[in-house]
């Protein structure tokens, strides 16, 4: 297996790392270092040029008298952000204009940093200074184009100790190089320290030399996952790059075996409300093994109110605070689902075993029992530590057949015991959805697609995800329970992790108004400063039947704020609710486990003062960690969708497809095909001519007046599909 060719030998050796090792400063006297700190600041303050080159500053400070102390002082001031280094020169930093932050995410040509107040700032690629995830940086705010905070990195204070990138080995005039999704050009490889690789391999690289731009970094290859034409290999590399743990440690496995081996005993059930005689059942996907929610329903004969029970696996009974299981669940934050794979938050002994609400087995639960009026209003709610025994494992597509009366005799027999409850739940679902509509909750449509894989894990098809009747029933029930969980915390004033979705910024709404005006040639009469959920609902409803609705749906999605977790009850704009938390999925989401843990202590009699003392700081930490790991999971899922879609389209290069222009940039337009794949029609691949563009709106040929607008339908040909990057290239048919 070839690792390099002769052209590698001509490449210059990896430069020395610029950073000075900390251990060099261990024996420096503090007073000597402090003296040089004062000198450096004084001379930089005195210079009229506002900066001084490296040699001149060293001479002014007489660094030769004690070079180690001088270097230590220089290093200290750089790390503290007191001075900045640029092109072998130093200058004092205006600390009123700058702030410290950490680089948290990188994409192709931009990134995000998070400041000490936990606010995220968008950073355009040209202002990243070659920063990598985990770096401690100094930044300053710049004018925002969207209303969200934007910044420029002015100095990297401390480099991440583990800087890794996934990418593909590619051939260049300098030999084999490493191409990632971060750097725009292939990076040099130190092949002496690398494992074996060849052209086209998907690999994990470690940055061993930092340049001032991403394209200047030098790497060594530390893991090889095989062909980059395999979406499965590409996702394994991405998971390794993000340092997502796949396997559980032996200690965690031992604890999982220990807590699950005993089963559900009579002692466990003591003091719990017994719902085992109620008709309770689960509804999930056919392949689901981690069933954490079950439902029950009946009507109060006296007043016609619905009594809805949502019974959730009591994971907090098994995952105790500060245990190895808890530490691992906190670290993972969420289960990650992509293609046909799952990286679970908890070991399968819990997620698929003792916590899963398997039919005909006693299970410990936390139950929300809610009384709902015939009109669909939540009147009353109570929570119980409980025990249930599910009657049947319902499957979405089977339940849909029961509800639309197309079920086979075998299915009717399977659901005989719960079918009456199923129809009653369907009746309640209509009422809950009506109330949700009356609240003005906007119904944004998902743009996700289902991946169809063969027995080898290769993508052989894409299909839109359609929600059936039973999916909507479960969603409505879970929303109700989540609202009740948030309400009880606010009512009794104890800390909780809330699911929050803040109002969109006025700048984003103004941008949406501008795009809608261009698209429809009429004004959307709304004040960006006073946007309410109902305004978004009315916009969507008035355009739902139009052929350009997917474009309006996407534009509206981009204008919305990102949902996150918070210890503060900030409300949920997208659901038009003041109170909302995540209570219903503790097997696969840490915030839900946190909510269960706090509710469980409350139900055991803990008072407000004790709960605040125990959980106030914990809910802050859990909220931030849960938000971070959710973003990471979404990143994995999106990249998987793109890689697998490209894998599918590789078999269809040269074929024609119908699509709609869903995004316009200054370099081309993105077209969403009827099969849900998205590709780029680059401006260079349009017919010959002179083109002008208005980003976000249109591309126009000035010679023949041909115009390509947002929302236009097109027939295109797939010309290339790159699995490693997830990019699909298109040309006009």
**DSSP per-residue letters across 350-394:** IIIIITS--TTSEEEEEEEEEEE-TTS-EEEEEEEEEEEE-S-EE
Does pLDDT of 26 surpass 70? no
Average pLDDT over every residue of 282-309:
94
Judge residue 304's burial from the number of C-beta atoms within 10 Å of its C-beta, 0-12 exposed, 13-18 middle, 19 or more buried.
Answer: exposed
Does pLDDT of 72 surpass 90? no
- Residue reference for tokens 């689902």: 337
Quote the pLDDT of residue 28: 74
Quote the pLDDT of residue 495: 97
Average pLDDT over every residue of 28-42:
82
Quote the pLDDT of residue 630: 96
pLDDT tens string 113-123: 998 888 889 99
Of 429, 437, 536, 434, nearest to 476 by C-alpha is 429
Does pLDDT of 5 surpass 60? no
Largest CA distance in the chain: 94
Of 680, 679, 716, 685, nearest to 701 by C-alpha is 685
Does pLDDT of 12 surpass 50? no
Quote the pLDDT of residue 185: 82
What is the DSSP-derived secondary structure letter of residue 98? E
Does pLDDT of 21 surpass 80? no
Quote the pLDDT of residue 655: 96
Q: Which residues pair with 184 in a beta bridge?
A: none
Percent of the chain with pLDDT over 70: 95
Quote the pLDDT of residue 614: 96
The answer to whether 151 and 123 are in contact (CB under 8 A) is: yes
Locate 140 and state its tokens. 């300053």
Residue 454 CA to residue 727 CA, distance in Å, equals 22
The answer to whether 622 and 341 are in contact (CB under 8 A) is: no
The answer to whether 91 and 44 are in contact (CB under 8 A) is: yes
pLDDT band at 519 (very low <50, low <70, confident <90, very high): confident
Residue 183 CA to residue 132 CA, distance in Å, equals 11
Average pLDDT over every residue of 708-717:
92
pLDDT band at 181 (very low <50, low <70, confident <90, very high): confident
Average pLDDT over every residue of 389-404:
96
Residue 444 CA to residue 631 CA, distance in Å, equals 20
Average pLDDT over every residue of 115-135:
86
Q: What 3-state class would DSSP assign to 604?
A: coil
Does pLDDT of 7 surpass 60? no
Quote the pLDDT of residue 521: 55
Does pLDDT of 20 surpass 50? no
Does pLDDT of 134 surpass 90? no
Quote the pLDDT of residue 129: 83
pLDDT tens string 428-468: 999 999 999 999 999 988 777 889 999 999 999 998 888 89
Quote the pLDDT of residue 3: 36
Q: Which pTM was predicted?
A: 0.86
Q: What 3-state class would DSSP assign to 115?
A: strand
pLDDT tens string 325-372: 999 999 999 999 999 999 999 999 999 999 999 999 999 999 999 999
Phi, psi angles (nearest 5°) of residue 492:
-100, 5
Does pLDDT of 95 surpass 90? no
pLDDT band at 48 (very low <50, low <70, confident <90, very high): low
Least confidently predicted of 3-7, 188-192, 271-275, 533-537: 3-7
pLDDT tens string 666-685: 889 999 999 889 999 999 99
Average pLDDT over every residue of 656-664:
93
Helices (H), 47-115: 54-60, 67-79
Gyration radius from the chain CA atoms: 29
Does pLDDT of 248 surpass 60? yes
pLDDT band at 238 (very low <50, low <70, confident <90, very high): very high
For each of the domains in the chain, give its residue range(s) and CATH number, in order of start: 7-13+161-228 (2.40.50), 22-92 (1.10.10.10), 98-158 (2.40.50.140), 250-500+567-638 (no CATH), 506-560 (no CATH), 652-732 (2.40.50.140)
Quote the pLDDT of residue 31: 81
Average pLDDT over every residue of 19-37:
66
Q: What 3-state class would DSSP assign to 194?
A: coil
Cβ count within 10 A of residue 608: 12
The answer to whether 156 and 133 are in contact (CB under 8 A) is: no
Does pLDDT of 594 surpass 80? yes
Mean pLDDT of the chain: 89
């Amino acid at each position: 297996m070839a690792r390099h060719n002769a052209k590698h030998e001509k490449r210059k050796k990896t430069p020395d790392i610029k950073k000075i090792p900390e251990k060099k400063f261990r024996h420096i006297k503090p007073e000597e270092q402090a003296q040089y700190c004062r000198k450096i600041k004084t001379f930089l303050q005195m210079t009229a040029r506002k900066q001084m080159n490296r040699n001149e500053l060293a001479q002014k400070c007489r660094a030769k008298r004690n070079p180690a102390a001088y270097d230590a002082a220089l290093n200290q001031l750089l790390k503290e952000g007191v001075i900045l280094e640029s092109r072998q020169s130093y200058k004092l930093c205006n600390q009123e204009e700058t702030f410290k932050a950490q680089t948290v995410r990188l994409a192709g040509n931009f990134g995000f940093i998070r400041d000490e107040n936990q606010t995220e700032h968008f950073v355009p690629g040209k202002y990243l200074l070659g920063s990598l995830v985990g770096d401690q940086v100094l930044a300053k705010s710049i004018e925002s184009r969207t209303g969200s905070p934007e910044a420029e990195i002015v100095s990297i204070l401390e480099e991440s100790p583990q800087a890794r990138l996934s990418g593909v080995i590619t051939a260049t005039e300098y030999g084999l190089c490493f191409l990632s999704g971060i750097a725009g050009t292939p990076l040099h490889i130190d092949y002496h320290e690398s494992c074996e690789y060849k052209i086209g391999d998907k690999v994990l690289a470690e940055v061993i030399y930092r340049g001032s731009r991403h394209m200047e970094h030098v790497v060594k290859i530390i893991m090889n996952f095989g062909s980059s034409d395999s979406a499965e290999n590409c996702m394994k590399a991405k998971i390794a790059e993000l340092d997502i743990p796949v396997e559980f440690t032996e200690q965690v496995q031992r604890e999982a075996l220990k807590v699950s081996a005993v089963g559900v005993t009579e002692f466990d059930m003591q003091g719990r409300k017994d719902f085992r005689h109620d008709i309770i059942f689960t509804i999930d996907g056919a392949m689901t093994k981690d069933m954490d929610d079950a439902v029950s329903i009946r009507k109060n004969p006296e007043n016609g109110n619905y009594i809805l029970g949502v019974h959730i696996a009591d994971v907090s009974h098994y995952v105790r605070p500060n245990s190895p299981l808890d530490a691992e669940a906190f670290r993972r934050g969420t289960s990650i689902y992509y293609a046909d794979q799952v990286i679970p938050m908890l070991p399968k002994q819990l997620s698929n075993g003792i916590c899963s609400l398997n039919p005909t087995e006693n299970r410990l639960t936390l139950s929300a029992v809610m009384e709902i009026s015939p009109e669909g209003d939540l009147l009353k709610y109570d929570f119980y530590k409980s025990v249930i025994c599910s009657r049947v494992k319902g499957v979405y597509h089977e339940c849909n057949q029961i509800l639309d009366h197309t079920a086979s005799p075998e299915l009717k027999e399977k659901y005989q015991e719960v079918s009456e409850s199923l129809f009653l739940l369907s009746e309640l679902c209509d009422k809950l959805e009506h109330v949700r509509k009356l609240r003005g909750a906007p119904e944004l449509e998902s743009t996700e697609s289902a991946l169809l894989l063969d027995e080898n894990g290769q993508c052989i098809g894409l299909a839109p995800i359609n929600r059936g009747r039973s999916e909507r029933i479960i969603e409505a029930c879970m929303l109700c329970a989540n609202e009740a969980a948030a309400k009880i915390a606010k009512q009794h004033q104890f800390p909780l992790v809330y699911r929050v979705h803040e109002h969109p910024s006025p700048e984003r709404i103004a941008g949406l108004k501008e795009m809608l005006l261009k698209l429809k040639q009429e004004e959307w009469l709304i004040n960006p400063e006073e946007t309410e959920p109902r305004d978004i609902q009315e916009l969507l409803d008035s355009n739902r039947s139009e052929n350009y609705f997917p474009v309006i749906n996407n534009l509206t999605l981009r204008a919305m704020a990102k949902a996150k977790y918070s210890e503060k009850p900030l409300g949920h704009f997208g659901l038009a609710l003041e109170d909302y938390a995540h209570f219903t999925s503790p097997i696969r989401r840490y915030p839900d486990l946190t909510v269960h843990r706090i509710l469980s202590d409350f139900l055991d009699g803990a008072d407000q003062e004790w709960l605040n003392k125990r959980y106030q700081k914990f809910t802050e930490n859990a909220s931030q960690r849960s938000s971070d790991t959710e973003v990471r999971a979404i990143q994995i899922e999106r990249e998987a969708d793109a890689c697998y879609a490209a894998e599918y389209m590789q078999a269809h290069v040269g074929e024609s497809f119908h699509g709609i222009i869903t995004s316009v940039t200054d370099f081309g337009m993105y077209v969403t095909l009827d099969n849900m794949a998205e590709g780029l029609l680059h401006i260079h691949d349009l017919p010959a001519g002179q083109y002008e563009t208005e980003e976000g709106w249109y591309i126009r040929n000035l010679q023949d007046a041909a115009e390509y607008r947002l929302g236009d339908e097109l027939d295109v040909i797939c010309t290339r599909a790159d699995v490693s990057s997830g990019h699909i290239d298109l040309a006009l048919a």
